[in-house]
Amino acid sequence: MSLPAEKQFLEALKRSNNALVTFRRDWSVDAVASALAVARLIERQGKRADIVVDGFEPGKAVKFLPGVGAIKPAFQQLQRFIINLDVAKHKIDELSYDLEGDSLKIYITPKTGQFDGRDVTTAASDFKYDLIVTVDTPDYPSLGGIFTANTDFFYHRPTLNIDSDPGNEQYGNINAVDITATSTAEIIYGLLRAGGEHFLDEDVATCLLTGMISKTKSFKTATVTPKTLEAASQLIAAGARRDEIIQNLYRTRSLTTLKLWGRALARLKYDTAAKFAWTLLVRQDFVHAGAGEESLPDVIDELIANSPEAEIIGILYEQESAAEKGRVGGICALVSSEKYADSLGLVASLKPEGHRRLARVCFPGGSLVDAERSVIQAIYKTLGKSAAATAAAAAQPAAETAPKTAVAS
């Protein structure tokens, strides 16, 4: 009789001597916090764990998390290449090498006689890690370059797959996928509790609570359940530093970002059919707020946190011209969704860039109104809504407080 998932999870961690913990390239705070918690749990059992994430650079929201500085952006010595020379007949006198461009030349001089090709064999050492733990990652390709460059490794090591994404492909040997959970962090806490193991310390509890608070926008989303709140209370009781989490996740918005958010709120629109909330920003909004386009992801987060009825959030904005500062250089749109696992898929017909959590579409020509209509049409097409509803949504006026330039090209 097979063990339940929580027992399998803990047994796999116990059997591992050197584990790899990783998550998708377009990471979330939940992913970072969950990975740090898992690595800490492994290390507390006297084992080794490395966190490796393709191109990882910690954002300001996660820099406070214990151990985040140890996350590596690429593999280091995943596997060694071995050149084996038979020296039974001829002992070595000298050994040297030269690196010429892309070529490595190794020079071996025997004391007597000579070596030939039959004396040399090559091999690859075993992989450095004996277990892979993925968190908040729907499929292998989401891992980016560390997967595409090392597929043999990922297909020949046991994988623990922990995720709350409905789109998860169940690719692990052990799949702890619970779409009713608010976050990956909540699942990890549940695995620990159900398994009867008590490896929680203040750092692990802080990481897990960070993941839960981030994913639920401080427990404001509709996915929060009594089980979620109970888990949060237990983590606080175990020493999770709630004040530190709130300070770093929600009290670090710059004044310029808050000003831009205020302008976005003044122009907010909402379509009940698609449950789509969006806003329009012109160049003057950025100028008056003193903010740049880099503030827009934070504005998106604020809109998500403060629009619980909306399942899709969007910002359409005028880009700054690269040639002439302050001038309009085109129209772009950012689209994000907490409900739909793939934001790129919502506007797939517009050939977006970005990642599953945040899609970006740019329109080199046309007005803000034209771009607005195109984005709405793309979302309605994906959701199977009618053309008439699309036209009605596009014609919806902005808030009365919006300046007339809100829909100017």
- Number of Cβ atoms within 10 Å of the Cβ of 386: 10
Q: What is the 3-state secondary structure (H, E, C) of 313-350?
A: EEEEEEEECCCCCCCEEEEEEEEECCCCCCHHHHCHHH
Token pair 């709130």 is found at 246
CATH 3.20.20.10 fits 255-407, yes or no: no
The answer to whether 41 touches 199, Cβ cutoff 8 Å, is yes
CATH architecture of 5-75+128-249: Alpha-Beta Complex (3.90)
Q: What is the DSSP string of 10-55?
A: HHHHHH-SEEEEEE-SS--HHHHHHHHHHHHHHHTTT-EEEEB-TT
Mark 12-22 as b/e (b = at least 16 C-beta within 10 Å).
bbeebeebbbb
* Type of residue at 388: A
Could you give the residue range(s) of every CATH 3.90.1640.10 domain in the chain?
5-75+128-249
Q: What is the rounded distance in angstroms from the CA atom of residue 382 to the CA atom of residue 269?
A: 20
Query: What is the SS3 assignment for 280?
Result: strand
CA dihedral 334→335→341→345, nearest 10 degrees, is -90
Two tokens, residue 401: 């407080």
The answer to whether 129 touches 34, Cβ cutoff 8 Å, is no
Q: What is the rounded distance in angstroms from the CA atom of residue 329 to the CA atom of residue 166?
A: 38
Two tokens, residue 336: 């994000």
- Number of Cβ atoms within 10 Å of the Cβ of 91: 10
Instruction: Report the number of secondary-structure helices (H) and strands (E) in the chain.
Output: 14, 15
Q: What is the rounded distance in angstroms from the CA atom of residue 167 to the CA atom of residue 361?
A: 23
Two tokens, residue 214: 């981030």
pLDDT tens for the chain, residues 1 to 409? 355 677 888 888 888 999 999 999 989 999 999 999 999 999 988 899 999 999 999 988 899 999 999 999 999 888 666 677 778 887 888 888 888 888 888 888 888 888 887 877 765 556 789 999 999 999 999 999 999 999 999 998 999 999 998 889 999 999 999 999 999 999 999 998 876 656 789 999 999 999 999 998 888 877 899 999 999 999 999 999 999 999 998 877 788 888 998 999 999 999 988 899 999 999 999 999 998 888 898 888 888 877 778 889 999 999 876 555 555 568 999 999 877 778 889 999 999 988 778 899 999 878 899 999 999 999 999 988 654 455 555 556 554 434 443 333 2
* Type of residue at 100: E
